[in-house]
Amino acid sequence: MLDRFTMPLTQRPLLALADILHRQKITADQVTLAAFIVGLSALPLLAFEQYGWALAAIVLNRVGDGVDGALARLNNQQSDAGGFLDIGLDFVFYASVVLGFALADPEQNALPAALLLFAFIGTGTSFLAFAIAAKARQIERPNFPKKAFYYLEGLTEGTETVAAFVLFCLFPTAFPLLACLFAAACLITTITRLWGGYWTLRS
């Protein structure tokens, strides 16, 4: 819901970072992989309840996720392969954060984490399934023209997910409540994406 507003605000600093990496001959795929490795380190950090360090890993991952696209455009290296790698690793990263909280306190967090992972399956599959159909039909993506795939909007997008992860880390004892609330929002997103996507393709 908020990505259309936050993305334009982040473009200038991301381009500045991308320009530095461009001068060092670093590729977008290298940044994607490095950001994923850093982000994945949040899993053991969360499991051992090192929430501050985990938050740092999450933030660095998200910065890298923004820089790789800017760098690909700067290097004129945008590709379906790069877009596939980026979104595939993103979803693995999202799941790893939730798993980390489940491992930190299985008794309190396991069920809310399972519910959130269930909701993530809905948002992810509805998002990617529509992207495949939209690409085949060459449907325009007016709000996100720089994306490698069709960006189907919803109540919970990248900005909301990052905000949720930050809240999880800042208030770890509230994870069960926060995870359930975010899962409910993700389920609403899934329903609206399935409905909107179906009728968009029908028309």
The pLDDT tens digits for 80-128 are: 888 889 999 999 999 999 999 999 999 999 999 999 999 999 998 988 8
pLDDT < 70 stretches in the chain: 1-3, 139-154
pTM, two decimal places: 0.86
Residues 184, 83, 65, 61, CA torsion sign: positive
Q: Say how far apart CA 28 and CA 72 lie, in whole Å.
A: 5
Two tokens, residue 185: 């929002």
pLDDT at residue 1, rounded to an integer: 67
pLDDT at residue 143, rounded to an integer: 46
pLDDT at residue 152, rounded to an integer: 55
Two tokens, residue 133: 């159909």
Q: Which of 116, 114, 93 is nearest to 46 (CA)?
A: 93
pLDDT at residue 153, rounded to an integer: 62
Are residues 25 and 81 in contact, defined by beta-carbon separation less than 8 angstroms? Answer: no
Two tokens, residue 95: 């799941």
pLDDT at residue 154, rounded to an integer: 67
Q: Say how far apart CA 113 and CA 124 lie, in whole Å.
A: 16
pLDDT at residue 145, rounded to an integer: 46
